[in-house]
Amino acid sequence: MDHSHLAANWADIRRRVDEACRAAGRDPSEVAILPVSKTFGPEVVREAVALGLHRFGENKVQEIRDKSGLLADCGIAWVMIGHLQTNKARDVARLASEVQSLDRPELAEALHRRLTMEGRAIDVLVQVKTSREESKYGLPPAALPAFLDSLRQYDTLRVRGLMTLAIHTDDPAEVRACFRQLRELRDAAIDRGHDIPRLSMGMSGDFPLAIAEGATEVRIGTAIFGRRPYPDAYYWPEGGTPAP
C-alpha cells in the first residue's frame, strides 16, 4: 500500500494544531501530538517512524505486543490509551512506556506488581470519565482526589497528569465542558500538591476545543493514518464512540 500521504497528513495536522494553539493564545510548543496507530500494521508505523515519530498510542495490548515485536529496531515508545484488563498488566509492564488509561485501584495494584517484577517504572495518566455516557471508561471525577492520594504508594507509577475522552456529540459546548472539567480537576489536584501538569485530551474530531481548554497532548489517529479498517465499535465495545 502507498502511504506517502502520511507525510502530508502529519504536516497538515501539526499545522492545524499550531493554528489551534495560536487561536487559543497558547504557544504551539506546549501541545504535543500522540499519533494513534491502532489497527494500522507495522509497515505503516515504520513509515511514520521514518517521518521522525517515535511515540505511538495503541488501544489494545495485543496490538502493542504484535507491533513491538516486529518493530523492535525502531526504538518506539508505546503508549497504552485503551481500556486495560487487569490480566493484561504483565504485557503492559514489559512493553509500554506509558499508560494513559489508569482508571481504577485494582489496575494500579496489578501494574505496580508487574512493574516491580520487571524492575521498571512508567509514566501514567489517570483516565477520568468526564462524559455522562454510560459506555465511557474512566474514574468518576468525585473519586479522583482519593485515587491520586492512593497512587503515592506505588513507586513504579509516575503519575504525570489526566486523560479523558469527551462526549460524542455535535454540540461543541458539551464537548468543551468535558475538557474544561478535566482541566479544573487537574488544577485542583495541583493545588493539593500533586505534580500532574499533563492533560491528554482531544482527538481528530475535537482537538481545537481541547487545546482551547488547555490540552498538553492531543491523541490523533484518523487525521494522520486515515480511516480505520475497523469500526470504532470494535474499540468501544459497549457503544458510544468518540467524535469521528
Ligand X SMILES: *Cc1c(COP(=O)(O)O)cnc(C)c1O
DSSP-assigned letters across all residues of 94-124? HH-SEEEEE-SHHHHHHHHHHHHHHT--EEE
Helix (H, G, I), strand (E, B) or coil at 18: helix
6 or 203: CB nearest ligand X: 203
Q: What would the x/- binding string for ligand X be over residues 46 to 65, using CB under 6 A?
A: -------------x------
- For residue 56, the minimal CB distance to ligand X (Å) is 11
Total binding residues toward ligand X, as defined by CB under 6 A: 16
Q: What would the x/- binding string for ligand X be over residues 132 to 151, using CB under 6 A?
A: --------------------
Q: What are phi and psi of 24, to 5 degrees?
A: -95, 5
Kindly tell me which residue out of 16, 38, 168, 194 binds ligand X, with binding defined by CB under 6 A.
38
- 240 forms part of the interface with ligand X (CB under 6 A): no
Euclidean distance between CA atoms 53 and 69, whole angstroms? 18
- For residue 244, the minimal CB distance to ligand X (Å) is 6
Question: Where in 105-124 is the site for ligand X (CB under 6 A)?
Answer: none
147 or 235: CB nearest ligand X: 235
- Label residue 94 exposed, middle or buried (CB < 10 Å: 0-12, 13-18, 19+): middle
The whole-angstrom distance between residue 223's C-alpha and the CA centroid of its chain comes to 15
Q: In the block, which residue shows the cell 481500556?
A: 83
- For residue 193, the minimal CB distance to ligand X (Å) is 28
Question: Where in 178-217 is the site for ligand X (CB under 6 A)?
Answer: 203-205
- 220 forms part of the interface with ligand X (CB under 6 A): yes
- For residue 207, the minimal CB distance to ligand X (Å) is 8
b/e per residue 112-151 (b: at least 16 CB within 10 A) = bebbeeeeeebbbbbbbbbbebeebbbbebebbeebbeeb
Kindly tell me which residue out of 36, 84, 107, 122 binds ligand X, with binding defined by CB under 6 A.
36
31 or 81: CB nearest ligand X: 81
Helix (H, G, I), strand (E, B) or coil at 218: strand
In the complex, which residues of this chain contact ligand X (CB under 6 A)? 36, 38, 59, 81-82, 165, 203-205, 219-223, 235, 244
